[in-house]
Amino acid sequence: MLQLLLITALSLFSLSADGALVDIGNGLIYDDDLDITWLQNGNYSASTMTWDEADVWAENLIFHDLDDWRLPGSDTCSGSGCSGSEMGHIYYSEGITSDSPGLFTDVKPFMYWSSIEYSTDPSQAWRFSLKYGTQGTSDKGLNRYAWAVRDGNSLPAAAPEPSSAILFLSGLASMLAGRKQLIHRLIKRE
């Protein structure tokens, strides 16, 4: 019985998790599929703005001492089903909409600017609707919402406290010793 329990416990360490959105606290959501961190508040800027204003806002944003924010990236897909952009990913792959914001707050049912200008017309930039899941271009002078993201996981590395580290290491040592005994018993049976 103990052997079965030990084998089951060891097998849990080998399971891989699917990509997901993770609330890492302090108003930040990590997307481990895209390896980016989103502001949890989809309306942190508290107003709509032109594309140039949104781009400057994200670039100058300092949130919890992090200063390398940007607008979400976009591909050049137009219409519905555009899941290749960062906003398209959270809409189509993660199910985040203005009606169903999941871990996010204040997600608006309107257009959000992306960081990508339209290549054939410099007066246009890509935008995404979190109400309908549509992507397209808009005149940069129109007011849209802005949502900041940054590359990587913004969770600060926490240093383990000594007593927790000692407990963890002693538990790991016990588990490895038990595994070694289990292997020896299995070999003797053969």
Q: What is the pLDDT of residues 59-118, one digit of tens each?
A: 999 999 999 999 999 999 999 999 999 999 999 999 999 999 999 999 999 999 999 999
pTM for this prediction? 0.73
Structure tokens at 98: 């203005």
79-80 and 36-39 beta bridge pairing = unpaired
pLDDT at residue 125, rounded to an integer: 98
Quick one: pLDDT at residue 8? 35
Q: What is the DSSP letter of 26?
A: T
Please state, in angstroms and rounded to a whole number, the distance separating the CA atoms of residues 167 and 150.
35
Instruction: Give yes or no for a contact between 40 and 30, defined as CB atoms under 8 angstroms apart.
Output: no
Better pLDDT: 33 or 19: 33
From the number of C-beta atoms within 10 Å of its C-beta (0-12, 13-18, 19+), residue 54 rates as buried
**3-state secondary structure at position 165:** helix
**Whole-number Å distance between alpha carbons of 13 and 111:** 42
Indicate the range of 13-22, 48-57, 68-77 predicted with least confidence: 13-22
Rounded CA separation 169/176 (Å): 10
Pairing of strands 79-80, 111-117: unpaired
Count of alpha carbons within 13 angstroms of residue 121, beta-carbon side: 10
Is residue 4 scored above 90 in pLDDT?
A: no
Contact yes or no for 133/96 (Cβ under 8 A): no
Return the pLDDT at 163.
Answer: 57
Which pLDDT belongs to residue 154? 85
C-alpha distances in angstroms, 105 versus 41, 82, 117?
Answer: 5, 23, 27
What Å distances lie between residue 63 and 43, 58, 67, 148, CA to CA?
A: 14, 10, 7, 10
